[in-house]
Amino acid sequence: MTGRVARTVRVVAALLPHPEDGSRFLVQQRLPGGSRALLWEFPGGKVEPGETDEAALARECREELDVALEVGRRLWEGRHTYPDLTVELVLYATRLVSGEPKPLGAHALRFLTPAEMGALPFCEADIPLLEDLVAGRMGNLG
């Protein structure tokens, strides 16, 4: 595999607060059997060619959680290289418009505080994001 360049994917993620408790946010556990199986991450997914970040995030959350979201401002951006790919990860503030999150594309869902998230095994690309969230470095999350 020498000389091979890992492909780069742009991934958008939602910081989705619980409708009744703005201190807890939705995280999902990846399905078993796939890449980074059973690790935790923020909901979202890959941006397809020709798609905006906002459209991709709304589509992914509709497909994987069965919810409609309002996508707000960009809160965080980072890059992580795994052995098989490089991830450009962008986190957006979101608000639930309709539906109740269901784990259609995930093993499990939980609404947790950033401190509670720190006890879970997260995907490596999400760890700097989580550290900034726990430390309060994202400013106003609304």
Q: What is the pLDDT of residue 1?
A: 44
Coil, strand, or helix at residue 69? strand
pLDDT tens, 32-62? 988 889 999 999 999 999 999 999 999 999 9
Domain that residue 69 falls in: 7-135
pLDDT tens, 52-88? 999 999 999 999 999 999 999 999 999 999 988 999 9
CB neighbours of residue 123 within 10 Å: 20
> Tell me, what CATH number does 113's domain have?
3.90.79.10
Q: Quick one: the chain helix, strand, coil %, rounded to 5? A: 20, 40, 40
Model-wide pTM > 0.85: yes
| Number of domain units in the chain | 1
Residue 70 lies in a domain: yes
Question: How far apart (Å, rounded) are the C-alpha atoms in residues 43 and 126?
Answer: 11
